[in-house]
Amino acid sequence: MELAQQIIDGNRTALGQGITLLESTLPEHKEQSQELLSECLPHSGKSIRVGVTGVPGVGKSTFIEGLGKLLTSQGKKVAVLAIDPTSERTHGSILGDKSRMHELAADENAFIRPSPSGGTLGGVANKTRESIILCEAAGFDIILIETVGVGQSETTVSNLVDFFLLLMLAGAGDELQGIKRGIMELADALIITKADGDNITNSKNAALEYKRALHLFPPMKNGWIPQVSTCSSLEDTGIAEIFETINKFDTQMISSGWKNENRENQNSYWLHHIVKEELGSKQYNSLKAAGKLKMLEKELTKGKTIYQLLNSF
C-alpha cells in the first residue's frame, strides 16, 4: 500500500491522510484503514507514549508546546494527539489545537492533530490508539496525548499511554479542580504549573502537600514512585526536569519488563472493548466463555489488527 510506505518514510502529509482514513465512518474506508494499520504495525511500538491531563485553565497547551519545543530542539520527533469526546458538541476540539501551539505547529519535527470527533469516549480513544500506531511508524519518538481533564477520559487514556502526567494549579483545592482521587492514583508525575511571579511560594507549598497526599496512596504495581514538581512555561523552568523524569521512568520500565507487559495488557483491554462494542455484550460473553478471546489475545502479537482478527471468526 503506497500510503503506508509514505508514512513509514516519514511523510507528514501522508500521516495526516492516514489518520483521516482511520477516522472515516464510510464502510469502504474500513477495510483500507485496517490494511494501512496492519502494514504500519511492524514499524510501531518504539515511542514513549505520554498522557497529559488537567482541568481547563491549567495551561495544558502552553505546557505541551514548551515540552514539545524542548524535545524537537534535542532532535526528537514529537506528535501531539488529543482526546475530547465533547468535540462534536462544541463544533471542533479545544484540544490538540494548532492555533494554540503556533511555534510547535510550524516545527518540521512536530505533528499536531486535533481530537477525532463524534462517538463515545471509547470510540474516540480507539481512533487515537490507531493514530499512535501510524505516528510511531512515521518515526515519532514521543507521542503526547492531551485529554479534557475530568472524569472518565483519564481512565481510558491510561490504557493508551506508558506515562501519565497530571497538571495542577496551586491555591485551588483538588475538589475545586474537579480532580478525582482516582485520577491522582493514575498519575506517574504531578506537575504544579504557572510556578512564576507571586505564585512561586504557593506552588512549592502545593507540591509539598501533594507529595504528602501521594504517600497515602497504595504503591504502584510497577514499583514507580510518582514524582511531584513545579514548572513555568512562561519562564521556561522545570520542563527539562520533567522530561528527565519521563526518560528515567521509561528506562526503568524497559529494564524491568513492565513497559512491554503493560502494552500487552493495554492491547488486551482494547481487544475486549472492541469485541464488546462490535458484537454486543451477549456475543462477547459467549466468546469469552468459550475461551475464544484468550485465543485472539495470543494472535494480537502477530501483526494483525483487532478488526482483522474479528473478521477471522
User: Is pLDDT at 206 greater than 80 in this prediction?
Assistant: yes
**Residue 233 confidence class, pLDDT cut points 50, 70, 90:** confident
Whether residue 197 sits in one domain with residue 267: no
- Within a domain: 225: yes
Distance CA 9, CA 134 (A): 11
- Within a domain: 167: yes
Whether residue 282 sits in one domain with residue 203: no
Whether residue 141 sits in one domain with residue 234: yes
Whether residue 269 sits in one domain with residue 201: no
pTM listed for this prediction: 0.92
Whether residue 249 sits in one domain with residue 118: yes
- Within a domain: 141: yes
Query: What does the pLDDT average to over 167-191?
Result: 75
Residue type, 281: S
Whether residue 187 sits in one domain with residue 126: yes
Whether residue 178 sits in one domain with residue 80: yes
What pLDDT sits at residue 88?
Answer: 53
- Within a domain: 9: no
If we measure between CA atoms, which residue out of 130, 200, 213, 206 comes closest to residue 168?
Answer: 206
- Within a domain: 271: yes
Query: Which CATH number fits the domain that encloses residue 152?
Result: 3.40.50.300
Whether residue 219 sits in one domain with residue 91: yes
SS3 for 214-240, per residue?
Answer: HHCCCCCCCCCCCEEEECECCCCECHH
Distance CA 248, CA 251 (A): 5
- Within a domain: 27: no
Domains held by the chain: number: 2
Whether residue 245 sits in one domain with residue 132: yes
Average pLDDT value for the chain: 88
Q: Which of 10-14, 172-176, 257-261 has the lowest mean pLDDT?
A: 172-176
Q: pLDDT tens digits, residue range 258-309?
A: 999 999 999 999 999 999 988 898 898 998 888 888 888 888 877 778 888 8
What pLDDT sits at residue 66?
Answer: 95
- Which phi and psi angles does 84 have, rounded to 5°? -145, 95
Domain membership of residue 300 as a residue range:
263-311
Q: pLDDT tens digits, residue range 98-115?
A: 667 889 999 999 999 988
Q: pLDDT tens digits, residue range 18-69?
A: 999 999 989 899 999 999 999 999 999 999 999 998 877 889 989 999 999 9
**Residue 175 confidence class, pLDDT cut points 50, 70, 90:** very low
Widest CA span in the chain: 62
Contact 194, 170 (CB under 8 A): yes
What pLDDT sits at residue 92?
Answer: 47
What pLDDT sits at residue 78?
Answer: 98
What pLDDT sits at residue 195?
Answer: 94
What pLDDT sits at residue 299?
Answer: 83
User: Is pLDDT at 246 greater than 70 in this prediction?
Assistant: yes
- Within a domain: 25: no
Whether residue 115 sits in one domain with residue 133: yes
Distance CA 25, CA 159 (A): 23
What pLDDT sits at residue 45?
Answer: 94
What pLDDT sits at residue 176?
Answer: 45
- Within a domain: 16: no
